[in-house]
Amino acid sequence: MKLSAIVYTSNTGYTAEYARLLGEQTRLPVVPLAQAEQSLARGSRIIYLGWLMAGKVQGYRKAARRFTVCAVCGVGMGVTGSQLADVRKTNALPMTPPLFTLQGGFDLARLHGVYRFMMTVMKKTVGKGLSEKQGRTPDEDAMLELLLRGGSRVSRENLADVLAWYSENGI
């Protein structure tokens, strides 16, 4: 039941940062998906981290076809632990493996091509809608703050639930 590695796909570096932090805590090797396909045996047991776009965990399907994914972490702009039902549904994830969402960050300068264009539009439309909304939830306030000011929300504290799962399962 031992895990082989932490495998990840990152676009702007926030997911890679979480993978590195998780690797430090678990002492598991941390490997980008493209490299894992070459270096890990088919069926290897992994924790998979991917960045979220419209609720989809990027790279998850590819990783799941090759490896045994024991836990999934989606890194996005939402508050850590939020949007679990939506992410599970969008990715057609069964109730196992466990799913965790982690708040990453936002920096338009780290984006390129179509992703930069999409997030520029999102910043304007979603940011405007949230700023005008009455009675925003704390999650919406956090999203608005990230959209308007950017920055990283990556922290060891955000990995608490993932690490608790890891410890509880004796992996």
C-alpha distances in Å from residue 148, one per residue of 9, 90, 130: 25, 26, 11
Quote the DSSP letter at residue 77.
Answer: S
Please write the tens of the pLDDT for every residue from 29-39: 999 999 999 99
Question: What tokens does 134 get?
Answer: 């009455």
Please write the tens of the pLDDT for every residue from 105-131: 998 888 788 888 888 888 888 888 888
C-alpha span between 73 and 128 (Å, rounded): 29
For residue 19, which of 124, 78, 102, 143 has the smallest C-alpha distance?
102
Quote the DSSP letter at residue 111.
Answer: -
Contact predicate 19/10, CB 8 Å: yes
- By CB neighbour count within 10 A (0-12 exposed, 13-18 middle, 19+ buried), where does 123 fall? middle
C-alpha span between 32 and 53 (Å, rounded): 18
pTM, to two decimals:
0.89
Question: Residue-wise over 63-87: b if at least 16 C-beta within 10 A, else e?
Answer: bbebbebbbbbbbbbbbbebbeeeb
Identify the weakest region by mean pLDDT among 85-89, 143-147, 165-169: 143-147
Characterise 101 by phi-psi region: left (phi > 0), alpha (psi -120 to 50), beta (else): beta
Identify the weakest region by mean pLDDT among 11-25, 32-46, 53-67, 100-114: 100-114
